[in-house]
């Protein structure tokens, strides 16, 4: 795993969407499969080195961009420090902010069907979580592979967003 990915993950290891356990609000809805969120989590390149003992990793192509990726299908709950980056930043998703001319995060439109926090917008989340998620995606954009994968993730979400508005 490269240093930017390690640092990005470390930024989110101990900070959560709310300062309390939001999983109690929804019985961890984001860990359950549904029509919009799908039934597995795409791994950031390098995360396949983690021991995902609670699930199974398979090769996939992202549906819109056809980017090859690894995907984790969970059959049990996990420790926060080992979960994929995508789970660590949920319900946020990376996007490139033209206004800031930098990578940033916004509410993941695909999360609206499952996550009760989406109703309150980004401002309703723990500010430290949002700040660290933004710093984390900026760190990930420092490598070419990281930026390419951020672009793919952002594209997947933005296509969903266009069709759901």
Residue of 1, 3, 14, 25 interacting with ligand SF4 (CB under 6 A): 25
Q: Which is nearer to ligand SF4, 74 or 93 (CB)?
A: 74
* Part in contact with ligand SF4 (CB under 6 A); list of ranges 7-15, 27-35, 126-134, 140-148: 27-35
89 scored as a contact of ligand SF4 (CB under 6 A): no
Task: Supply 134's token pair.
Answer: 């933004």
CB of 29 to ligand SF4, least distance (A): 4
The three-point CA angle 106-51-152 to 5° equals 30
Whether the ω angle into residue 91 lies within 30 degrees of 0, i.e. cis, is yes
Site string for ligand SF4, 106-125 (x = CB under 6 A): --------xxxx--------
CB of 42 to ligand SF4, least distance (A): 11
Helix (H/G/I), strand (E/B), else coil: 148? helix
Closest CA to 157 of 111, 124, 123: 111
Q: Which is nearer to ligand SF4, 39 or 102 (CB)?
A: 39
Kindly identify the residues of this chain, within the stretch 47-86, that bind ligand SF4 according to CB under 6 A. 72, 74, 77-78, 83-84
Residue of 8, 22, 92, 93 interacting with ligand SF4 (CB under 6 A): 22
Dist CA 119 CA 158 (whole Å): 19
CB 118 within 8 A of CB 111: yes
- Residue 53: in which H helix or E strand, if any? none
Dist CA 127 CA 15 (whole Å): 10
Residue of 15, 26, 57, 159 interacting with ligand SF4 (CB under 6 A): 26
Tokens 């983690």 label which residue?
50
CB of 47 to ligand SF4, least distance (A): 10
């Amino acid at each position: 795993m490269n240093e930017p990915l390690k640092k990005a993950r470390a930024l989110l290891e101990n900070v959560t969407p709310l300062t309390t356990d939001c999983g109690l609000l929804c019985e961890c809805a984001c860990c359950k499969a549904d029509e919009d969120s799908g039934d597995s989590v795409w791994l950031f390149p390098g995360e396949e080195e983690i021991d995902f003992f609670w699930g199974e990793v398979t090769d996939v192509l992202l549906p819109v961009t056809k980017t090859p990726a690894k995907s984790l299908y969970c059959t049990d709950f996990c420790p926060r420090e080992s979960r994929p980056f995508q789970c660590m930043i949920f319900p946020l998703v990376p996007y490139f902010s033209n206004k800031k001319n930098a990578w940033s995060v916004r509410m993941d439109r695909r999360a609206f069907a499952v996550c009760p926090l989406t109703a309150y917008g980004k401002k309703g989340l723990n500010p430290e979580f949002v700040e660290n998620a933004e710093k984390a995606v900026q760190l990930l954009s420092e490598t070419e592979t990281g930026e390419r994968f951020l672009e793919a993730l952002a594209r997947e979400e933005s296509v969903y967003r266009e069709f759901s508005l």
